[in-house]
Structure 1
Amino acid sequence: MEKLPKYTHENGINYVLVGDYYIPMLTLPEENRPIGRWGRMHQKYLKENRPGYYSSLLLTGKLWTYLADLDEHAQERLDRIAEQMQAAEGVTEELKANDQLEWVRRCNSIRSRAEEIVRAELIYV
C-alpha cells in the first residue's frame, strides 16, 4: 500500500491526514474588537430567530466582524439620538446646575427611549 502525504492542498484548502481521512485545516480570521452589549444582543437574536443567517456568518468567519461593526454603529446611533433628544427637550448644563434630580430623571428617560429606538432599528431586525 502506498504512503499518503501528511498534508495536502486542494481547491484552495489545506488538509491534514488523520487516520485514513483528510480533514480540512480551517482557521477563522482574527478580530480583536469586542462585540459589546449590542453585538451580544444581536447575536442572541440571530441564533434564535435567523439560525440560517447566523450559521452562514459563523461558517464564513464573518460573524465576529459583523457583530463588532454592528456594536460600534449601534453605540454611535444611541449617542447621537440621546444628544438630539437632550437638545430638543432642553436638558442642559444649566438644568443640571439648578435641579440635579430633574436633570437625572430626564437623562434616564431620554436614554431608555434612545435604547428602545436602537433596539427596534438595529438589533431586532
Structure 2
Amino acid sequence: MEKYIFDESNGLWYELQGDYYIPCLTLPAEKEKPIGLFGQRHRRYLREYRRITYTNLFTSGRLNSYLADIDEQAQQRFETITEQMKQAQGITEQLKAENALEWTGRMNNIRACAVEIVDREIIYA
C-alpha cells in the first residue's frame, strides 16, 4: 500500500497510518503577535471552560490575534484602573521619595486590586 494517496474528489492528501488513511490537514497560517500575561490567562480560561470557542478560534486561525487583542484591552484597563486608584488614594511621587516602603506596599495593593478587576471584567467574562 502507498504511504500517501491523493483523492481528486475532495482535493485532500491522505497518509497511511496502520491500516487506515488519515487526511493530511494543516491549520491556516496566522500572523504571530506577542501575547502577554493577560492573553495567556484568557487562553487558559478558554481551554478549560470554553472549549468550543477555543477550538473554533484555533481551527480558524484567529486565536493568536484574538488573544493579542484581549491582552491589549486588559493591559489598557489595568493601567487606567491603577492610575485612578493612585489618584483616589493620594499616592504621589513625594510619598515615594519620603517613604518608599509604604509607597511600595500601597502600590502592590493597588496592582492586586486592579488585576482582580481586570480578571472579572475581561479575562473570565
Q: Which runs of 5+ in 1 are unaligned?
A: none
Aligned length: 118
- Separation in structure 1 between the aligned mates of residue 116 and residue 102 of structure 2, nearest angstrom: 21
What is the CA deviation profile of residues 52-74 of structure 1, one whole-angstrom value per residue up to 9, with x for unaligned ones?
A: 11111111111111011111111
Q: After TM superposition, give the deviation of residue 82 of structure 1 in Å.
A: 0.3
Aligned residue in 1 for 2:59: 59
Identity among equivalent pairs (%)? 42
Larger deviation, residues 24-33 vs 57-66: 24-33
Structure 1 residue 80: Cα displacement: 1.0
Q: Which residue of 1 aligns with 2:101?
A: 101
- TM-score scaled by structure 1? 0.80
More displaced stretch, 103-112 vs 21-30: 21-30
Q: For the structure 1 residues 6 and 105, does the alpha-carbon distance in structure 2 shift closer, same or farther, using more than 3 Å as the test?
A: same
TM-score for both structures, normalised by structure 2: 0.80
Q: 3-state SS of the aligned residue for 2:30?
A: coil
Deviation at 1:92, TM superposition (A): 0.4
RMSD: 2.4
User: For residue 31 of structure 1, what is the aligned residue in structure 2?
Assistant: 31
Q: Matched residues in 1 for 2:73 and 2:47: separation?
A: 20
Partners of 2:30 and 2:61 within 8 A in 1? no
Change (3 A) 1:51 1:6: closer
- One-letter code aligned to 1:41: R
**Residues in 2 aligned to 1:9 and 1:86: alpha-carbon distance in whole angstroms:** 65
Matched, 1:72 2:72: yes
Q: CA deviation at 1:6?
A: 5.8
